[in-house]
Chain A
Amino acid sequence: MAPLLELRDVTKVYGGGGLLRRREPVVALDNFSLTIDDGRATITAVAGESGSGKTTLAHLALGHVAPTSGAVLYRGRALDAMSRAERLQFRREVQPVFQDPFAAFNPFYRIDHVLTMPIERFRLAASAREGRRLIVEALEMVGLRPQETLGRFPHQLSGGQRQRVMVARALLCRPKVILADEPVSMVDASLRATILASLQRLNRELGISVVYITHDLTTAYQISDDIVVLYRGSVAEAGSAEQVIQKPKHPYTRLLVSSIPLPDRGRRWTGEDLPDVEAPAARRSAGCKFAPRCPAAMDVCWAKPPPLFRPDDHRVASCFLYPDSPVLDSNDVARVFAGAPVATAGAAQ
């Protein structure tokens, strides 16, 4: 079955070469591959800190920027080679939810504007009345009361309400994939659960796949089936969310997980294992990008970049700590996701 959304060997480089001063190019995403299939509706988390490339990934997947090399394909067609009709279908079927609930609304219009526009553009309703019914249904599905929400300006709603309107907008389009880029990081803690629960509901009841981009591993753990952990544009570890987060194998993932401030007095932070993450690297690594900060770095780590080792059926870790594990035969990490069929390394899919 052709994948729905595919990022194939995508690399994105920013900067490099100013007129008077050579600017150091930044590799935001490095030879990254991921597929989202049509058959199974999954929630995939893409986790990383600032500089990991997760935001770049969102922009690429939504077609806002073109990759420096590699391709972004939708239903087998490259984004820049699509016809107008195909492009419109892509726009409808891959919907974003952005981080900032205030800036996502045009302050000039009432919030109804973002809900009526897709109905008109994508011809989702045959009449105005049906359009209105779709809007009311979508709002109710995310737990909002239409009579308290419609007709208002963005500044009259709270951050949580605005974000829920954005989720309603996304689901109104009847998408196949929702790309949520840090959807709850600017929302109060008590509302986060509600919004994330509505994303889960969309996934389970409407069969919409969700790509959940975040820096928060606990929410990623709670709602995702699979997770990809990025470090400086490369995959550090990926696979079933349960395994990767509960028993991380890559030193970077371990560092991330141990740094989570859990509201749990039984799991306290310790200070010993903390490398100085901000000290400038004494030397640059030609191999693994994490080597300068890795407590377990060996000579080989500095020399060549580690491939995606597969220590478990549903996990890959690009780390030389697992040299005896088989290597994944492609760099599409979706192969090891929780619902993917297990095949031995080297076997064609």
Chain B
Amino acid sequence: MRPNDAVGPAAEPVLQVEDFAVYYDTPRGPVKAVDGVTFALRAGERLGLIGESGSGKTTMGTALLRLNRPPARIVRGRVLLNERDLLAVPERELARMRLGEIALVPQGAMNALNPVMRIRDQIEDGLLAHGQLPKRELAERVAHALARVGLPPELADRYPHELSGGQKQRVAIAIATVLSPRVIVADEPTSALDVVVQRQVMLTLGRVQEGLGAAVILIGHDMGLIAQFADTVGVLYAGRLVEHGPIDDVLAAPRHPYTRMLVDSLPTLEGKRELRGIPGLPPPLLNLPPGCPFAPRCPYAFDRCVGETPLPQVVAPGQRVACHLYPSHAELPPPPAAAGARLG
């Protein structure tokens, strides 16, 4: 993949998400699936948003493009794509910006391909929605889009059921990138794929992204995948971004207790060791009490954590954490004695 060096080219943020919040309206009250997420994305940057069930990551993916449906409702925030707020622009301009400037590869995209349309028609669908093109140019664009994801042009005349899972996923990437967007949001793009095909699809996505100079937001639950693909990582918990920073730093020295425990729970090939999970459950997002949402499961929790919600703060250049341990600590201390007796 890419050489392990400094993050991409220009330092100009191409996407700025500010205090983004999406709630689900239920008869029992609002479920705060995304509650005040803020981050910036530079051109060419690969951001991995990691979260488990109940973290809000899937809601975020669709809501960023205002593709959420009721009862999901965008409550506040700004999503600035080149200075224009996606959440505020009128429908027509939003339709133009979708696919043209920001594209989504949704979860299970390969199953979302229309089974009665040829691949060619589905790619053209997106092109034609953005303006009429002469037939020959359409065909060229389709061939080019397929070539970009490493698929032969003959595939354009096939139907989805004739393709394998990985091929379908690559078609989904082709559809999403046909108009060379500046930001690609990929929501669990490889979740149903075998590990070898997954690698191929992720490498394809990486090549496409580099070729376009686009930024990618990869949403998923697999830290390994994010470690292999992304430059920066954002850790989501209970609808909030609890840690955000370069992947190397976050993996080597996680600052948030949840990140630390998550990384510790991952199996590796580094030799056999005791498997430790994170005890307890993520909190229900309905009527979440004030304070840190991770406090009930956190071995470091103290009084302040229960009453006061921690806000993200910068702890090092490019690194933010939402935890009351900071800034009084420089890094995450070893776990307190009570937890230590449990491990081992």
Contacts and interface: CB of A to CB of B under 8 A. Distances in A.
Interface string B266-282: 11111011111111011
Interface stretch (B28-36, B86-94, B130-138, B189-197): B189-197
B177 interface: no
Interface in B177-206: 194-200, 202-203
B82 interface: no
Contacts of B275: 193-194, 196-197, 200, 222-223
B323 interface: no
B221 interface: yes
Contacts of B276: 193-194, 197
B224 A262 contact: yes
A264 B252 CA distance: 9
Contacts of A195: 277
23 contacts: A49-B195, A160-B281, A161-B281, A190-B52, A192-B267, A192-B277, A193-B275, A194-B275, A194-B279, A195-B277, A197-B274, A218-B269, A246-B269, A257-B269, A260-B195, A263-B227, A264-B270, A265-B4, A268-B4, A269-B1, A269-B203, A277-B197, A277-B200
Contacts of A159: 53
Interface of B: 1, 4, 52-53, 164, 166-167, 194-200, 202-203, 221-229, 247-248, 251-252, 261-263, 265-270, 272-279, 281-282
A83 interface: no
Nearest to B262: A190
Given A161-B281, A188-B52, A260-B195, A265 B248 contact: yes
A317 B269 CA distance: 21
Contact of A277 (B196, B263, B272): B196
B228 A261 contact: yes
Contacts of B225: 261
A188 B196 contact: no
A263 B279 contact: no
Given A263-B251, A265-B248, A221 B1 contact: no
A147 interface: no
**Among the interface residues A160, A190, A215, A257, which one has the most CB atoms of the partner chain B within 10 A?**
A190
A216 B166 CA distance: 18
Contacts of B268: 218, 262-264
Contacts of A259: 195-196, 198-199
B245 to A, nearest CB: 13
Given A219-B267, A255-B196, 17 more contacts: A158-B281, A189-B221, A190-B265, A190-B278, A192-B267, A194-B276, A194-B277, A196-B275, A215-B195, A221-B269, A256-B196, A260-B224, A260-B269, A261-B195, A262-B224, A264-B268, A265-B227
B291 to A, nearest CB: 21
> For chain A, what secondary structure do more than half of its interface residues adopt (helix, strand, loop), or is it mixed?
helix
A278 B166 contact: yes
A261 B196 CA distance: 10
A188 B57 CA distance: 13
Interface of A: 49-50, 143, 158-161, 188-197, 200, 215-219, 221-223, 242, 245-246, 255-257, 259-265, 268-271, 274, 276-278
A56 B1 CA distance: 36
The 10 closest A-B pairs by CB, nearest first: A194-B277, A261-B224, A193-B277, A49-B194, A193-B275, A190-B278, A188-B52, A218-B267, A259-B199, A261-B225
Nearest to A279: B152
Contacts of A190: 52, 261-262, 265, 277-278
A189 B167 CA distance: 27
B290 to A, nearest CB: 23
A242 B272 CA distance: 9
